[in-house]
A and B are shown apart, each in its own frame.
Chain A
């Protein structure tokens, strides 16, 4: 991209939902592409946090295969079978989409393979960084991870200032851990985000909040507690926002059964 057309560094940090949860938030999946301002953006999925799970990769191609874009993915665990020049490929993208999973594993593997440096370069060059769950928290100074079982603070890449917690509505075990850590000063202030909602950052400044689901929001979290932020509703392609009681119910059951759930 010529310098005069460069985008400001942009991050779309989603609390959950999007295509990995099924075709429930098509408006979020569309927004990911719209943020580039391009008619046919190149979008690359990084499914590292899920161990390059086939399921995530399939969902990605199901979602973006029939949208106007050029989808690809990088499997760091399958480079043996599918070698590619990582830096070159990632810097040539318009969007890098980071899937959910284990935030601790994600960052350990990225660092071991030098992706932390490449991604910062991509972000500074205007490649939109989008992600949900672990793929959202990784951009901040801190996140709340369930990588070791119970929710606990974990450091991120710190492209963005402050802290982030995800699945704020659907995984209630994260909430007290996050609010307490910010209250007692062990974590900097930040943002908690529901499934279906997302933060848009331009540079290191929060530029807006969007929500693809009725009643789902993002919250500013400070030592004084949490404050809902005004969210711009995203319209689903058919003009109506979707609600997903079945999926919420499934998540609640999962949470109740497992005690905690994954990032």
Chain B
């Protein structure tokens, strides 16, 4: 029970979007404090696309970690005791795709409750895009055409927008928060929000240029504040001191 509750919510990035840049994925593994962590991939939001599962196993090779995946479209071949399997992980990694299909499918299999229980016992929850939006009270999805709010699992009592560099998401998220969506965070591609408990502890990035923002309603509409980001890559060599 000593493990803290942690979520690393990526605005975009990791093996799904950043081939050759493992900084965010490595960071997710490092949050476990375990040398060879158990990582379970949930590709539900993609419809359990085969190519996505293959890419996961390439990125999370045995040796560095203990990878597995749960396919909700092919339950006959996978772990029979889903709840037990998820609870014994160090990381649950949720892939991108349709957040609406993701949440609907999870609820039908009771995964929503299993993930909450796993999070509460200290399994690190991570994911990008739909796999980020799902952890929040509300998220802004633009996957299905026009941007619209979607109710997430509510582990984090705030809201989220992903791929925040891209219009129309930015404008739509500002409007949604001004219109009553809970205050929250917009994360761009390459930026990840690290929550400990339900508080934002740090923003980390896989690119020096990636950004994340805090959005909150104010008297006039909405205020947007750029957050301090820690780039995880090698910093430029400091000038040699004498």
Which A residues contact B (CB, under 8 angstroms)? Answer: 49-54, 76-77, 79-80, 83, 101-102, 104-105, 107-109, 111-113, 146-149, 258-262
Contacts and interface: CB of A to CB of B under 8 A. Distances in A.
A259 B80 CA distance: 12
Given A53-B47, A146-B76, A79 B104 contact: no
B100 A105 contact: no
A109 B105 contact: yes
Contacts of B75: 102, 146-149
Contacts, number: 77
A76 B143 CA distance: 10
25 contacts: A50-B47, A51-B47, A52-B47, A52-B49, A54-B50, A76-B101, A77-B46, A79-B98, A79-B143, A83-B145, A102-B73, A102-B75, A104-B108, A105-B73, A108-B107, A109-B100, A109-B105, A111-B104, A112-B100, A112-B104, A146-B76, A147-B75, A148-B75, A149-B76, A258-B77
A223 B41 CA distance: 43
B48 A51 contact: yes
Interface string B47-61: 111100000000000
B72 A102 contact: yes
Contact of B101 (A53, A54, A112, A149): A112
A105 B76 contact: no
A37 to B, nearest CB: 34
A260 B76 contact: yes
Given A77-B46, A80-B144, A258-B76, 15 more contacts: A52-B49, A53-B47, A77-B45, A77-B97, A77-B98, A79-B98, A102-B74, A102-B75, A105-B73, A105-B108, A111-B104, A112-B104, A149-B75, A258-B77, A262-B74
A258 B76 CA distance: 7
A81 B127 CA distance: 20
A77 B101 contact: yes
Nearest to A83: B145
A139 to B, nearest CB: 18
Contacts of A49: 73
A104 B98 CA distance: 17
A149 B75 CA distance: 5
Nearest to A101: B73
B196 to A, nearest CB: 31
Contacts of A113: 100-101, 104, 144
Nearest to A148: B75
Nearest to A104: B108
A79 B148 CA distance: 14
Contacts of A147: 75
A61 B117 CA distance: 43
A252 to B, nearest CB: 15
A216 to B, nearest CB: 23
B103 interface: yes
Interface in B88-115: 97-98, 100-101, 103-105, 107-109
Contacts of B48: 51
A50 B145 CA distance: 22
